[in-house]
Amino acid sequence: MEKKSCMILALDVSDREEALKIAEDVSEFVDAVKVGYPLVLATGLGIIRELSEFAPIIADFKVADIPNTNRLICEQVFEAGADAVIVQGFTGRDSLDACIEVASEYGKDVFVVSEMSHPGGAEFLQPVGETIARMAAQAGAFGLVAPATRPERVKAIREIIGDKLTIISPGVGAQGGKASDVIAAGADWVIVGRSIYRADSPREAAREIAAEIEAGPNGEN
Ligand code: O7M
């Protein structure tokens, strides 16, 4: 995944035409499109290949099962044309290894959720977030998912993993995070959903966030 705008679109709409139109409109300003349950359950797995015309596709299925089931899920995801899959880390090293093995067979990437962005993310996941981050680095994952709503946590996780993994960070805009703060804290990409796909002009909204990232936290870059 090439780093240009440092932004990933979370395309959580449920209509095929709308999804394709938004992806096309914003493709200039995003480095990838994240597709998850809302869109795939509504339109089918084939949407992944259709969207891949506009950007690399990250399949957000937060895979969280035993190794064999994880393997079967990841095979379907990569057969469908996804460039990366997002998996949970809390299921343990063997479950993660199964995803990474399949990804490497297909030449694709795995992102591991270390900590989540919503208030409840602090309840159970945050206390083990750093342990999950270390495990993901040891297992050879490509990247981590860490919360844009808590840039200080992104910074702490970046300090633990160094440059070994990339960090993608959801929670910008609708959840309160500011894109340039999270990038300054050590994220490689921010993930943005509602602030783009619910805007009157998704393209303008994406352009503005990309410009804010480029300008930096104090507008001085
Ligand atoms: O910008 P939003 O809030 O509309 O969308 C954020 C997207 O990121 C949405 O698709 C969420 O499911 C996802 N997300 C979080 O918001 N928080 C997390 O901790 C993790 C994710 C995610 O993408 O996990 C892989």
ipTM for the complex shown? 0.99
State the closest ligand 1 atom to the C-alpha of 198, by its place in the atom list counted from 1.
Answer: 4
47-67 pLDDT tens trace: 999 999 999 999 999 999 999
Query: How far is it, in rounded angstroms, from Cα 35 to Cα 11?
Result: 6
Q: Is 32 exposed, middle or buried (0-12, 13-18, 19+ CB in 10 A)?
A: buried
Which entry of 60, 109, 181, 188 is annotated as an active-site residue? 60
62-107 pLDDT tens trace: 999 999 999 999 999 999 999 999 999 999 999 999 999 999 999 9
127-169 pLDDT tens trace: 999 999 999 999 999 999 999 999 999 999 999 999 999 999 9
* CATH no. for 7-213: 3.20.20.70
Active site residue 188: no
